[in-house]
Structure 1
Amino acid sequence: MASQGIEIEKKYDVDDAAVVPSLAELPGVARVGEPHVATLEAVYFDTDRHTLASRHITLRRRTGGADAGWHLKLPAVVGDSTAGDSTASDSTSSHNGAAPQRREIHAPLGQPAVVPERLLAHLQAYLRGAGLIPVVRLETRRTTYPLYGEDGVHLADLADDRVQASALNGDGLSANEQSQQWREWELELVHGSPDLFPAAEEALAAAGARPARHGSKLARALGDAVTGDAQDAGDEADATGLPTAEPGKKSPATAVVTFYLAAQIREILAHDPGVRLEEPDAVHAMRSAVRRTRSALAAYRRLYSAVAVRRLLDELKWLGRILGAPRDAEVILERLRGQADELPEGPAAAAVKSSVEHELGGRFDSGYRKMQEVLMSGRYFRLLDDLEAFRDHPPVRPQAEAPGRKVAAKLVDKAAKRLRRSHKAAKGARLGAPHETALHQVRKDAKRLRHVAEAAAPVHGKPAAKIAKAARRQQKILGELHDSVLARDLLARLGAAPDLPEAVASAYATLGERQEELGAAAESKYRKAWKKSRKFLQRGVI
């Protein structure tokens, strides 16, 4: 089984003759425990192009010490559910003096050259079909000084590391006869607060420590071998390319789009492992990010090369459809499970439950299998490449340099106008299927408005956020209506099977009537939500 947590530490370069200072006088530190010495050997894995290192990701298999095993370290970024807060951090540098944070996942030692599948699941979206090979071997003699608080809590560890690094070829053998040697100190929090770092840094600096020039031992060992993204990233982006600075009120339109797209690409990459590992809600979250990406590209398409945008829109639609198959089946199955439990107990209810489970469970399983195949396909990996290329080198037209606030406001107004038209069309549509189809179009237009307003929020603030919130509420309510329609149609088909016992057919009819009631309630909620949000959807509201 793999385990994970957040690593918060600071690294320091020190000379060989430096003496480790006593940290017992630091605020909050009551005593320093007895130092203990361990010899660690770690083999780091990456592609031959150092794909992981370029994104500040490290994968190693380490023996010796208390935490022997496979270690995967990923930058902890905004929205990381395992992080203690929601601030972006970079594994190679400190922002405003804060200690870098990294998400760390452990797995048992296993076989020397066989990466555990659970760790690989977190890497496939970055590897994109490339294989892993051993690239560096580190031998470290570590002396650890534990720091304790007044109540005996283990606050932090100061590690004094003497390191020898050797580059490896693909077979795990040394690539040359030379090796690097250096000494460094690491101060890593255990249960302590980041408030410990400033005072500790003063004491360490007085002993000759300097802020480390590299974010990790691997980065120092590889040196100039890592180029491209690793050199360009720095303080400007995290491992998935998310800019740290929002566009300002004077930023061009392309900056507004790039910031929003970068955030959605990060979401896609962040939820990819959860989909592979079948974690709850991961498919929904990834699908939502795909939809937001597609909506933004569609809305701002006039700023870019038509060919490039069309290709991305087609591929995003394809991926959304693949993700949607198991997700839709899952939503309707959960809905009908709860409602079937309300049926009177007996053979008829059991037959209905069994049939619904067989139908929707089968759809879910086949959809998930297909989705897992797609997530390992060259087509999916090319889409990720194309999205990042579009983000980093957008094929802009001259109008992309127009003021972002002005362009975003026009597009929000356009999307709001489209929503008003579809709402009017739904009011005039005939009852039954035409009315339901028209309301489904309202839902799609509300979703489009929501995404366009979200993209505009960095340059329009609260007005755009209020529009996005109102559109989201309509989208959610009409989503409930759409689910009731899908469930009703499925129940009608299953209930029309030949030679069905009357009691079973009656149970299907009861559930179908329940869908009608829930659909009517959702439509009533929608009408109220529309009246309430009308003021946010008028022309020129931002």
Structure 2
Amino acid sequence: MGIEIEDKFDVSPEYAVPDLSGLADVVGPKSYQLVALYYDTPDLRLASRGVTLRRRRGGADPGWHLKLPKAKGVRQEITHPLTRSTKVVPDELAELVRAYTRGAELQPVAELDTRRTVTVLLDGETGLVEIADDRVKGTVYGEEPKVVRWREVEAELLEGGSQALLAKVGKRLRKAGASPSEAASKLAKLLEPAPLPTAPTKPGSAGEVVIAYLSGQVRALLSQDPRVRRAEEDAVHQMRVASRRMRSALKAFKTVVVDTGELQEELRWLGNVLGEARDLEVIRARYAKMLAGLAPELVTGPIQTRLGSDLQRREEEAYGRIKDVLSGERYYVLLDALDELVSAPALGKAAAKPAEEKLHAIAVANWERVTKAYDHAQAIDDLERREIAMHDVRKAAKRARYTAEALQPSLGGGMGKLAKLSEDIQEVLGTYQDGVVAQETLAKEAESARQAGEDTFTYGLLIGIERNAAERAHAEFPRVWKETLKAVTKVL
């Protein structure tokens, strides 16, 4: 697996690749033939999302290649050894595009036969940038196959190179007559998939801003799906955040996009599915850090096993349940609903109003929810019930934060400040709540250890550390709250 960063250029049949000496040592040109078979659903669901899946023969890296979009000009590439079959996509790769195929069959849709001439810029033995001059014959499969020929040049950043050097190469290529390609890939140029439908919102309206934000979160969720299936670091967290942001936005902007109650519940369901593995991941890392900070003589019994490998086993089991869910019909239906949300949403009357006028009022209302929740909690005499109510303050602060973040691009820096202030409230209360939960978990693990006849000294020590951290956060909150109220008044 790797990250592919490249610039693509359209050139004429007579184009001459310019002299690149002076930028670095130059090796090449060297030519070879590449034959790639591309796979997609009959309605080109991968191509429409900028995803390419191919089986390629020839060149330095024959095999299966899956390329997933990360950002403009940046894609994640996942490889698999070449298989004999040209009809069946390896299960490992088919699994990674399920969020796009959603049960539809993958089949060959096109073939690219490329005569590639490669020049490499080096620093000693280290590759910096590879320039590929490609003469392409593309064939689109169908009842009447279509053949297209063109030429293009790609400049790809290698492991030892820099963005600055890539920019210099691009400048020389453009000066020689190349023009930046609008197609994200050769396949996109060949197939020209229909663009994804977009919502008919009025420019400058509240509806335009909200749908643009939701569209970004849908893309974020889809981009994390393959990473979650591969159990990559932080992937579950990022996917869970995307689902939470969407659910929060649908609540906050319920007068802009209407009738989303069922969709909100499905996003809650997905967040809960992802949450089990994420919570175990966080708490395992938390305990590992705490144990590492103790003197060796204070770590007694098999506590590292109980709080390490045992929790990791539970985490892996939770990942298995996530993968089952991500390959299930309920998840596919949710993804279809999200597509419909951003392409054909049910818009309320507020959607047509000017963004600044309507959305600023919504941001204010969401912050007022935080203050009301706090006032309600402080009016409760019973300490235990008050602590439960303070959890509602944290949730309200998170919603105010997400709302402000959604509006920052359109309403400016004030929303960024409001988001940060809301996050401060959320984090202090979160530190307290996390400490309480950690103490409860440690107490349960200590009881299991005690019943197994193990030394539980270190459990008590960790519980004491967690209690002190929680109490410090609890004591700090009144100051943070007072300072935040003062700052928010200036912002709003």
Bucket of the pairwise TM-score, normalised by the shorter protein: 0.7 to 0.9
How far off its partner does 1:50 sit? 1.2
1:11 aligns with 2:10: yes
Equivalent position to 2:51, from 50, 57, 62:
57
Equivalent position to 1:146, from 119, 138, 143:
119
1:258 aligns with 2:211: yes
On the 8 A contact 1:253/1:408 being kept in 2, the answer is yes
On the 8 A contact 1:326/1:367 being kept in 2, the answer is yes
1:326 aligns with 2:293: no
> 2: CA distance between counterparts of 1:158 and 1:499?
65
1:78-123 per-position Cα deviation (integer Å, ceiling 9, x unaligned): xxxxxxxxxxx2xxxxxxxxxx554444333234345345544542
How far off its partner does 1:212 sit? 6.0
On the 8 A contact 1:39/1:140 being kept in 2, the answer is yes
1:136 aligns with 2:110: yes
**Secondary structure at the counterpart of residue 439 of structure 1:** helix
How far off its partner does 1:302 sit? 2.1
> 2: CA distance between counterparts of 1:51 and 1:33?
39
Alignment map for 1:300-311 (pairs within 5 Å) = 300-306=253-259, 309-311=260-262
1:296 aligns with 2:249: yes
Q: Which residue pairs with 1:218 in the alignment?
A: 187
1:9–1:346 distance in 2 versus 1, CA, 3 Å: same
How far off its partner does 1:445 sit? 1.1
Structure 2: state its 5+ residue gaps: none
Q: Which residue pairs with 2:372 in the alignment?
A: 421
On the 8 A contact 2:300/2:456 being kept in 1, the answer is no
Q: Which residue pairs with 1:201 in the alignment?
A: 174
1:254-293 per-position Cα deviation (integer Å, ceiling 9, x unaligned): 1221122122112211222221111111111111111111
Alignment map for 1:255-294 (pairs within 5 Å) = 255-294=208-247
On the 8 A contact 1:253/1:405 being kept in 2, the answer is yes
> 1: CA distance between counterparts of 2:68 and 2:454?
56
How far off its partner does 1:221 sit? 3.8
How far off its partner does 1:455 sit? 1.6
Equivalent position to 1:460, from 406, 411, 416:
411
> 2: CA distance between counterparts of 1:425 and 1:419?
10
TM-score, length of structure 1 as denominator length: 0.79
How far off its partner does 1:501 sit? 8.0
1:110 aligns with 2:83: yes
Q: Which residue pairs with 2:427 in the alignment?
A: 476
On the 8 A contact 2:130/2:156 being kept in 1, the answer is yes
On the 8 A contact 1:38/1:64 being kept in 2, the answer is yes
> 1: CA distance between counterparts of 2:76 and 2:219?
15
On the 8 A contact 2:30/2:118 being kept in 1, the answer is yes
> 1: CA distance between counterparts of 2:254 and 2:439?
37
1:498–1:259 distance in 2 versus 1, CA, 3 Å: closer
Q: Which moved more, 1:382-391 or 1:145-154?
A: 145-154
Alignment map for 1:393-408 (pairs within 5 Å) = 393-408=344-359
**Secondary structure at the counterpart of residue 435 of structure 2:** helix
On the 8 A contact 1:39/1:141 being kept in 2, the answer is yes
How far off its partner does 1:64 sit? 0.9
> 1: CA distance between counterparts of 2:90 and 2:6?
21
On the 8 A contact 1:481/1:522 being kept in 2, the answer is yes
Equivalent position to 2:316, from 365, 375, 387:
365
How far off its partner does 1:220 sit? 4.4
> 1: CA distance between counterparts of 2:481 and 2:173?
57
**Secondary structure at the counterpart of residue 261 of structure 2:** helix
**Secondary structure at the counterpart of residue 16 of structure 2:** coil
Q: Which residue pairs with 1:313 in the alignment?
A: 264
> 2: CA distance between counterparts of 1:167 and 1:525?
65
Count of residue correspondences: 484
How far off its partner does 1:383 sit? 1.0
How far off its partner does 1:541 sit? 4.1
Equivalent position to 1:383, from 327, 330, 334:
334
How far off its partner does 1:386 sit? 0.9
How far off its partner does 1:211 sit? 6.8
Q: Which moved more, 1:260-269 or 1:506-515?
A: 506-515
1:519–1:254 distance in 2 versus 1, CA, 3 Å: same
How far off its partner does 1:200 sit? 2.3
> 2: CA distance between counterparts of 1:288 and 1:161?
43
On the 8 A contact 2:35/2:111 being kept in 1, the answer is yes
How far off its partner does 1:496 sit? 4.6
1:125-173 per-position Cα deviation (integer Å, ceiling 9, x unaligned): 211222211112222233x15265898976442414142x33446xxxx
How far off its partner does 1:493 sit? 3.5
How far off its partner does 1:49 sit? 1.2
1:39–1:398 distance in 2 versus 1, CA, 3 Å: same
**Secondary structure at the counterpart of residue 339 of structure 2:** helix
> 2: CA distance between counterparts of 1:445 and 1:319?
20
Q: Which residue pairs with 1:349 in the alignment?
A: 300
1:410–1:193 distance in 2 versus 1, CA, 3 Å: same
**Secondary structure at the counterpart of residue 89 of structure 2:** coil
> 2: CA distance between counterparts of 1:460 and 1:217?
38
> 1: CA distance between counterparts of 2:302 and 2:246?
42
| Partner amino acid, structure 1, of 2:191 | L
1:166–1:200 distance in 2 versus 1, CA, 3 Å: closer
Q: Which moved more, 1:311-320 or 1:211-220?
A: 211-220
Structure 1: state its 5+ residue gaps: 78-88, 90-99, 170-174, 234-240
Equivalent position to 1:68, from 40, 62, 71:
62
> 2: CA distance between counterparts of 1:288 and 1:461?
23
1:212–1:455 distance in 2 versus 1, CA, 3 Å: closer
The percent identity for this pair of structures is 32
1:410 aligns with 2:366: no
On the 8 A contact 1:7/1:104 being kept in 2, the answer is no
How far off its partner does 1:314 sit? 0.6
| Partner amino acid, structure 1, of 2:480 | A
**Secondary structure at the counterpart of residue 129 of structure 1:** coil
